[in-house]
A and B are shown apart, each in its own frame.
Chain A
Amino acid sequence: METVTQTIQGVPLNHYIILSAVIFSIGVMGVLIRRNAIVIFMSVELMLNAVNLLLTAFSAYRGDPAGQVFVFFIMALAAAEVAVGLAIIVMIYRNTNSTDINVLNRLKW
């Protein structure tokens, strides 16, 4: 464990922050631009994983386990969300034979 922490600390903290911010932004752009429900969903997961990476980096730098425990919470709850989310997408696919969110336009003002 010590060596892992040291290896993580071998890279400056700013690099982790920039990397996470870039991954997070890619996720946000994916949600906003892509039209396929499953790809949007993957982009959301990308956002969450950027958060995980950032928390781990901060945690290693501070020598504080709280950040890593939070990562476990995020993983567990993201898994629960995936289960429900995929079920919803399957439900939509059964009714429309498509996962394109452009078919979802019944509700408009």
Chain B
Amino acid sequence: MNALITISLLALFILYLGLFKAYKALLPVTLLGLAGAFALAVSEWNSFPTPIFSNMMLFDNFAIAFSGITIFTTFLVLLLSKGYFERISSNVAEYYALILFALAGIVLMVSYHNLSMLFIGIEIMSVSLYILAGIKKRDFSSNEAALKYFLMGAFSTGFLLFGVALLYGASGSFDLEGIRNYIVSTPKPSALLYTGIILILIGLCFKVGAAPFHFWTPDVYEGSPSLITAFMSTVVKTAGFAAFLRIMLNCFAPKQEFWIPVLVTIAALSLLIGNVTAVYQQHFKRMLAYSSISHAGYMLFCVIALDGSSDNALFVYAASYSVASIIAFGVLIILQRQTGNDSFDSFNGLSKKNPFLAFTLTIAMLSLAGIPLTAGFVGKFMMFTRTLATYHTYLVVFAVVNAVIAIFYYFRVIVAMYFKPEERTELIVPAYYKIVLAFSAVATILMGIYPHFIAGLI
């Protein structure tokens, strides 16, 4: 609760700092504020078991856990932003403020208890991101990413809202509890309800980038500045799935037999399209975009096998995916800035000149591929066991086949770094990057070896 207020006020404060040209203070103040917001969020553990603000918000442990992980990941992304925005424009305060506003929307998205709050949270986040995607005003691909993201985002919001309106027509309430009561108490609900559920599913699948609603993802991820892509593919994706899981868990759970076949299809399509297309990519950033589609498929598993511990599985998966992606994008930013290229060939021989970069990136790739002793393995393991427990055997078999395909393109980077010698100059790694990369790599390994630290958290 206090975390949300802190983040919103912090964003306004940052705008004032920009107004008074205190550019040196921007990053430290933002980081300090985020650390404060994180502490406030964690300190409210177990303190709001019931909805607050006239049933608008619910700051239960689910909300706190996902607020915590999104705030923390934003913190890491912002550490990477040292000196990043200054290269794009001289008005840097707005960029920090926009990221913080997006984060405020995200905190709203993970803690809503009323569909109006879900809508407002998604909009606050999306509108900030539309601008962030296009901050390179002269760069053509950044423009294109902003327009595509904007049009697709507004389009998907339309679906979400139509679904919300139909649910309201059927149940007479925007409250998650109210809709659930209607579903439970009415043996034969009207057709409006079913149409509403499908439309909300479509809207949310657009937002999280699951196939067949994924077509904007690669273009937007590739065109946006790499730092913003890092933010989108970690924080925004986590928030989207938290919102998804929350509405499914608290609202639509009694109608499982209706929407599970739909979601199984979407998850299988995401895995297939994401992995197979990623194999054909020649550029690291675009490969990461397609791999994010396939990870969206894995994360849908926790919604398919819906029960009281789905949130734990999603939390572990999102945490492992976020830290590994941060490493990948950190290395990508360094590489793009100093070589101007992000094709797989530009990784050749990296291990000789930059053993640290190569090593952390290797850990990240292993974790994304789901190799044991990394966090990614624990995440996948939890998803698969839960899905097996609900007798979706065919889906797990399909997912394992896809995980094997994924190893191919993740290992391509490792092979390029270690086994393809090439003369190259050493990349300069700023101190901030070293801290973030080292921390994320250690976190990935620790979560892989001692998963019970976070596995039973919520």
Contacts and interface: CB of A to CB of B under 8 A. Distances in A.
Interface of A: 17, 20, 24, 27-28, 31, 37, 40-41, 44, 47-48, 50-51, 54-55, 58, 62, 64, 66-67, 69-70, 73-74, 77, 80-81, 84-85, 87-89, 91-92, 95-96, 101, 104, 106-109
A64 to B, nearest CB: 6
Sorted nearest first, the 10 A-B pairs with minimum C-beta distance are A47-B158, A107-B219, A51-B161, A58-B169, A77-B123, A44-B154, A104-B144, A54-B165, A55-B165, A88-B146
A104 B147 contact: yes
Interface residues of B, number: 44
Contact of B130 (A27, A84, A96, A101): A84
Given A77-B123, A107-B219, A109-B277, A51 B158 contact: yes
A31 B155 CA distance: 8
B131 A84 contact: yes
B138 A95 contact: yes
18 contacts: A24-B162, A28-B155, A37-B151, A48-B158, A51-B165, A54-B165, A58-B168, A70-B119, A73-B119, A85-B154, A88-B131, A88-B147, A92-B144, A95-B143, A104-B148, A106-B223, A107-B223, A109-B286
Nearest to B119: A73
B154 A81 contact: yes
Contact of A107 (B119, B173, B222): B222
Interface string B207-227: 000000000001100110000
Contacts of A41: 151, 154
Contacts of A20: 162, 165
A75 to B, nearest CB: 12
Contacts of B131: 84, 87-88
A84 B126 CA distance: 10
Q: Is the interface of A mostly helix, strand, loop or mixed?
A: helix
A55 B168 contact: yes
B158 A44 contact: yes
B127 interface: yes
